[in-house]
Structure 1
Amino acid sequence: MAEKTPITIAIMTPGDMGHSIGQVLLSSIKNKFRIITNLTDRSERTQKLSNLAGIIDVKTDEEIIQQADFIFSILVPSQANSVAQRFAPFLNKNKHIIYVDMNAIAPQTVRSISTLFPYGNFVDGCIIGPPPGSHEHIPIVYLSGEYAQKIADLFQFTDLINVSVIGNEIGQASALKMCYASLSKGITAIATQACITAKFFGLEEVFFNELKQSMPNIFEKLNKSIPHMPPKAARWAGEMEQIAKTFENIGLSEKMFQGAAETYQFIAEKTPLGNEIIEERKRGQTLNDALEIMTQSLKKKTYDE
């Protein structure tokens, strides 16, 4: 009996999350999947991660269209629209290919992107949790749209990623991501500002002792999340901007999350920690060291001003 042709999935792009998802799918069932990408103009780190995962670089978008059954868009929020615009003209001529946007973007953003695909070969998705295989917590992919179940079925062969179809409407999965990230990453932004301020006034020891006594769960979270955050701060700033858009669009204030975006921009652009690479961390791996560097990076002011 002839072997079945592998299902080919293009991942744009195989960064932290994308390469891990590709690697998990490749390891789920032998020869079930081929994972491809186009690494043109991608960073050396992304190229390395892609190669380690066994993802094939086919060099061009045209070759992706020739080979792919599905395209997964897993990018920083600011690139979601431009990558969709690259592929939409091809997919409007190749309607069998389904484009899955798994980015952390506002529901109105993903609905706007979906209009680039008038034949409906588009699924809204989001990923909650760490890259698969990297942590005890198993990530979950939430999907919505007409073809959401077809995408969910691709993950049935692995126990390292959970999947849930939550509706037929484009925007539902993205809205869920905005709600979740507003808490998970919004709390980290608030905690970062509080801890930097305590450090600035020389009160960090007193502050931490009080948290340990009155809010131990909060202290445990910030003790882990603040040191782990800096290499991701630039990406998280974009997520906060998308959350601000989401809340503003339904009549809530966007200001809280504009402030959170500015906090992450400060970490990414104004501190040495913003240049750290996850696999090559040198500084800021403890809460105290991270806060020391962040506080030193503040504009020199006195509280008498």
Structure 2
Amino acid sequence: MGAAVAACAVSAGARVLWCPIGRSAATRDRAEQAGLEPVAELSGLLEQSDVVLSLCPPAAAEDVARDVAERGFAGVYAEGNAISPERSRRIADLVGRSATVVDGAVIGSPPIAGKTARLYLSGPSDATALVGALFTGTAVSTPVLGEDIGQASALKISYTAYQKASRVLAALSYGLAQHHQVDQALLEVAGKRQGSYLTETGYIPKTAARAWRWAPELKEAADTLQAAGLPDEVLRAVAETLGRWTDAKDNGELSVDSALKMLQEPR
């Protein structure tokens, strides 16, 4: 997602930098294909940047923000990760000592091959306008939700709670039906309801391959529910279920049967 979003900014005329320290060969290839310019040190990258857009696994969001804050970055810091509103505000307190912070949330597929994504924004109007201008005329639209830090993150987490948990529940339902040899009947029943995830069995391996990223997002969603005084047990259980697919990380060759077998393995 990060490389695809960055490539859109490049296509709109922005000069986009990245720091290759500690990154994999695959990441380096994606950055090169996206037209990003490597900068050897983070400090040098920040000195040349007006805007920093953080798109990383949720668990790393505060570490990235801390690295930027320690170097006194004074531009606009767009926090675009799938984290709770509370963590977004903590990051804003941390980075906001020197920078202007924008809360962001990407919803949609990576904007490549005709696909589009929305980068929802909230924060000071001049800063959200600056971030939005980076993607003018591209496959990334930038709706602004308001000026409060946490609004964009709340939208992302609210959407994640339903969309990703539904995919996991669909996999469990199909696995149960398959175990009892009624999977075809289940598909026939589900097919009568428009847009049911139960009919999209081909998505089960995709869910497994993305579980390493989705589980932390569901934990963020559970924390957000808890903070709102709402029951969080369901999403914590979904995150635990996703943990059974840890070994399927980015496995594009996984079959439906193999993914379901992994759910049956004892923990």
Query: Which TM-score applies when normalising by structure 2?
Result: 0.91
Say how many residue pairs are matched. 263
Deviation at 1:55, TM superposition (A): 1.0
CA distance in 2, matches of 1:216, 1:82: 42
Q: CA offset at residue 242 of structure 1?
A: 0.4
Cα displacement string for residues 92-135 of structure 1 (whole angstroms, at most 9, x for unaligned residues): xx42x111100000000111111112245111000110111235
The residue identity in structure 2 corresponding to 1:175 is A
Distance apart, 1:190 and its partner CA: 1.2
1:89 has 2:67 as partner: no
Question: What pairs up with 1:123-142 in 2 under 5 angstroms?
Answer: 123-136=102-115, 138-142=116-120
Alignment check: 8 A CA contact 1:212 1:219 kept: no
1:42 aligns with 2:15: no
1:244 aligns with 2:222: yes
Label 1:59 to 1:231 Cα distance change in 2 as closer, same or farther (>3 A). farther
Paired position in structure 1 for 2:242: 264
Q: Which residue among 231, 236, 254 is the counterpart of 1:283? A: 254
2:195 to 217, 234, 255: 217
**Matching residue's letter, 1:50:** A
Is 1:296 aligned with 2:267?
A: no
| 8 A contact 1:188–1:222 mirrored in 2 | no
Measure the CA separation in 2 of the matches of 1:126 and 1:300.
35
State the partner residue of 1:5: none
Give yes or no for the alignment of 1:153 onto 2:133. Answer: yes
- In structure 1, stretches of 5+ residues that fail to align are 1-16, 285-289
Query: Aligned partner of 2:30: which letter?
Result: L
Shift of 1:245: 0.5
SS in 2 for 1:190: helix
Letter in 2 for 1:265: G
Higher RCO (CA-CA < 8 Å; seq separation 6+) = 2
Per the alignment, residue 165 of structure 1 pairs with 144
Partner SS state of residue 192, structure 1: helix
TM-score normalised by the chain length of structure 1: 0.81
CA contact under 8 A between 1:193 and 1:263: conserved in structure 2? no
Aligned to 1:6: none
Q: Cα RMSD over matched residues?
A: 1.9
Give yes or no for the alignment of 1:70 onto 2:51: yes
Q: Following the alignment from structure 2 to structure 1, what is the Cα–Cα distance between the partners of residues 240 and 145?
A: 32
Give distance in 2, aligned partners of 1:300 and 1:200.
16
Q: Is the 8 A contact 2:190 2:199 kept in 1?
A: no
Within 2, Cα distance between the matches of 1:86 and 1:300?
Answer: 39
Residue 6 of structure 2 corresponds to which residue in structure 1? 22
Contact map agreement 1:237 1:264 (CA 8 A) in 2: yes
Alignment of structure 1 residues 153-232 onto 2, 5 Å: 153-156=133-136, 158-213=137-192, 215-219=193-197, 222-232=200-210
Paired residue type of 1:46: T
Q: Is the 8 A contact 2:215 2:239 kept in 1?
A: yes
* Contact kept in structure 2, 1:35 and 1:55, CA below 8 Å: yes
Evaluate the alpha carbon distance shift between residue 140 and residue 124 of structure 1 in structure 2; reply closer, same or farther with a 3 A threshold.
Answer: same
Deviation at 1:216, TM superposition (A): 4.2
Q: Give yes or no for contact 2:171–2:201 (8 Å, CA) kept in 1.
A: no
Cα distance change of structure 1 residues 265 and 231 upon mapping to structure 2, 3 Å threshold: same
Which structure 2 residue ranges, 5 or more long, are not aligned? Answer: none
% same residue: 25
Kindly name which structure, 1 or 2, has the bigger radius of gyration based on alpha carbons.
Answer: 1
Determine the C-alpha separation between the residues in 1 that align with 2:254 and 2:204.
Answer: 12
Q: Distance in 2 between matches of 1:275 and 1:170?
A: 32
Counterpart secondary structure, 1:223 = coil
- Indicate conservation of the 8 Å contact 2:77/2:99, yes or no: no
Inter-CA distance 67–219: structure 2 relative to 1 (3 Å threshold): closer
Counterpart CA distance in 2 for 1:65 and 1:300 is 47
